[in-house]
Structures are given as structure tokens and as C-alpha cells.
């Protein structure tokens, strides 16, 4: 694989007696969109939170752009260019939607890398337009529906100008039309497209999602985990045809997926 942006090695995490993630190792290239899939409770969210620094691993290392970030605080990691979204949304409920995103636009990295001719307000607006919720900018976050909160999460993460984006179920709460719209936007963003008029870095991505029909088409590679361990790694085609994956997770719907994409 060419240029590697993220490397995780032997990552493990236990909660009390429960081994949520054990000995997970994989890497992500600078120009890749990688899917992280697996059944409920497989340890996907935990893996994301270990990489983003919100949880600290029991053992193992995370290297981002060649630097060991395992022990760094979350904000340092974000300012190095690794942003993530939460599966369970945690917005600033009393602040307007625009202000939620402005907070991310005010982090040191966004100030350095953002389009400097634009005010913080305008940059936040670009991110909201990318996520398709610019019309809600003035409303307090507390009135948003679950799907809109997921989009707000996405807007907040891309507003930090990331080079690697970790998305935990970005399609949660969205209807099929919205899902395919966000999926296409993500693909465009990844290809170095723009949100607003802003040149973006074309971030690499790691996406956790259950809606495989929408996810698979935009992926370059898939990592499957089950019971906290890696079950398989490969291209989407390899994964949907992998007997172990089919048994553990995908079941009969795999055939539909292949023909669908």
C-alpha cells in the first residue's frame, strides 16, 4: 500500500472483565476510504474511540502520520488532523446549530488551515451546507431530529479540516434518499472536492456503518471485526464473498449487495 496515514497495532481494550477489542491491527492509506463493519457489540465504536483518543487502550499503539498518538489528549489529535464523530450524538444542545460547528472552526487547526478570507460564521456555514442542514443554522441544536443531529456531527467533524475522518454510523437516522446523498457527498469530499468553496484536503476515512448497501459502493477496503477481533480484511467484493463473513454477519443479503452495486 502506498502512503499510510494511520497505523494501529495490537490495540486492545477491556471494560472490567469484558474484552471489547482485542489485538486489532490494520492501517489506512492516505487515499483510502475504509469501512469498519461487524455485528452489534463487535467493538467497532470502541475501536473508533480508541483511535480518536477519547478512550485509552489497555495495550497497543496508534500511529498517525508516523507519530505515536496513543497517549495524546483528544484535542491534540484533532489538531493534528484526525477528527471523529460519535455514534451517540452529543451536541451543545442550547447553542444554535451554527454555533455548534463554529466551536470546531475555532480550534487551532481550523484557524490555520481554513480559508482565511472567510469569517468563522461563513466557514461554519460551509460545513453545514455540506451536511445539508444550513437552513437550520439558527435553531438551537435541541430541536433537531436524530438524523439532523447525525449531520451536525458530520459538519462539526469536517469543520476541523481533518486529514483522516472517523465516522461512527454517519447514516444513522437518515432516510434512504438522505443516506445516498450523504454517501455521495463523502465520496466527493474524499476525492479532494470542496465543501462550500473551500479546498479540502480530501481526507482519508474510516466509516462504521450497518447500512451496507449504501456504504459498500464508496469503500476502497473493508475491515470486518467480530467479538473484538479482526475477522477479515479485503476489497468490498472479497468481503461479500468471504464465507466466514457471511456466516458471522452478512447472511443471505450478500448476493443482493453484489448485484446492487
Ligand X SMILES: Nc1ncnc2c1ncn2[C@@H]1O[C@H](COP(=O)(O)OP(=O)(O)OP(=O)(O)O)[C@@H](O)[C@H]1O
> Residues interacting with ligand X, by CB under 6 A?
15, 18, 20, 38, 40-46, 87
Indicate the residue among 21 and 240 with the shorter CB distance to Mg ion: 21
**Residue 199: other Cβ atoms inside 10 A:** 12
- 107 is an interface residue for another protein by CB under 8 A: yes
Q: Is 152:127 a contact under the CB 8 Å cutoff?
A: no
Question: Taking CB within 5 to 8 Å according to partner kind, which of another protein, ligand X, Mg ion, none is near residue 38?
Answer: ligand X
- 125 is an interface residue for another protein by CB under 8 A: no
**Cβ partners under 8 Å of residue 40, min gap 6:** none
Residue 86 CA to residue 168 CA, distance in Å, equals 6
Strand order in the sheet with 4-15: 18-29, 4-15, 59-64, 67-68
Residue 90 CA to residue 84 CA, distance in Å, equals 12
Indicate the residue among 109 and 221 with the shorter CB distance to another protein: 109
- Of residues 42-71, those binding another protein (CB under 8 A): 52, 54
Question: Taking CB within 5 to 8 Å according to partner kind, which of Mg ion, ligand X, another protein, none is near residue 18?
Answer: ligand X
Indicate the residue among 155 and 223 with the shorter CB distance to another protein: 155
- 79 is an interface residue for another protein by CB under 8 A: yes
Q: What is the DSSP letter of 250?
A: I
- 179 is an interface residue for another protein by CB under 8 A: no
Task: Out of 10, 41, 73, 251, point to the residue binding another protein (CB under 8 A).
Answer: 73
Cα-based torsion angle of the residue sequence 121, 122, 126, 129 in order, rounded to the nearest 10 degrees: 70
Residue 119 CA to residue 100 CA, distance in Å, equals 15
Indicate the residue among 85 and 242 with the shorter CB distance to Mg ion: 85
Q: Is 151:131 a contact under the CB 8 Å cutoff?
A: yes
- 95 is an interface residue for another protein by CB under 8 A: yes
- 134 is an interface residue for another protein by CB under 8 A: no
- 78 is an interface residue for another protein by CB under 8 A: yes
CA nearest to 33, candidates 231, 261, 242, 220: 220
Indicate the residue among 65 and 188 with the shorter CB distance to another protein: 65
Sign of the CA dihedral with 16 first, then 20, 26, and 31 last: negative
Could you list the residues that contact Mg ion (CB under 5 A)? 45, 87
Question: Taking CB within 5 to 8 Å according to partner kind, which of Mg ion, another protein, ligand X, none is near residue 46?
Answer: ligand X
Question: Taking CB within 5 to 8 Å according to partner kind, which of Mg ion, another protein, ligand X, none is near residue 176?
Answer: none
Task: Out of 40, 116, 117, 138, point to the residue binding another protein (CB under 8 A).
Answer: 138
Amino acid at each position: 500500500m502506498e502512503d499510510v496515514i494511520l497505523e494501529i497495532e495490537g490495540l486492545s481494550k477491556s471494560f472490567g472483565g469484558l474484552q471489547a477489542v482485542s489485538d486489532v491491527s490494520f492501517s489506512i492509506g492516505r487515499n483510502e476510504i475504509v469501512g469498519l463493519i461487524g455485528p452489534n457489540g463487535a467493538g467497532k465504536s470502541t475501536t473508533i474511540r480508541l483511535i480518536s483518543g477519547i478512550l485509552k487502550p489497555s495495550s497497543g499503539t496508534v500511529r498517525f502520520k508516523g507519530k505515536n498518538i496513543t497517549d495524546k489528549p483528544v484535542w491534540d489529535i484533532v489538531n493534528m488532523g484526525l477528527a471523529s464523530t460519535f455514534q451517540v450524538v452529543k451536541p451543545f444542545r442550547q447553542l444554535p446549530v451554527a454555533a455548534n460547528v463554529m466551536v470546531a472552526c475555532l480550534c487551532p487547526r481550523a484557524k490555520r488551515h481554513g480559508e482565511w478570507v472567510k469569517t468563522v460564521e461563513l466557514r461554519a456555514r460551509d460545513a453545514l451546507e455540506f451536511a445539508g442542514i444550513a437552513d437550520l443554522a439558527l435553531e438551537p441544536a435541541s430541536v433537531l431530529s436524530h438524523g439532523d443531529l447525525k449531520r451536525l456531527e458530520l459538519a462539526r467533524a469536517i469543520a476541523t479540516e481533518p486529514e483522516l475522518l472517523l465516522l461512527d454510523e454517519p447514516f444513522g437516522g437518515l432516510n434512504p434518499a438522505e443516506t445516498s446523498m450523504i454517501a455521495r457527498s463523502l465520496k466527493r469530499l474524499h476525492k479532494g472536492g470542496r465543501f462550500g468553496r473551500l479546498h479540502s484536503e480530501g481526507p482519508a476515512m474510516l466509516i462504521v456503518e450497518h447500512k451496507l448497501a449504501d456504504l459498500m459502493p464508496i469503500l476502497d477496503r473493508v475491515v470486518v471485526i467480530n467479538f473484538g477481533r479482526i475477522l477479515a480484511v479485503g476489497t468490498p467484493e472479497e468481503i461479500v464473498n468471504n464465507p466466514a463473513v457471511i456466516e458471522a454477519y452478512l447472511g443471505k443479503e450478500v448476493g443482493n449487495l453484489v448485484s446492487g452495486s
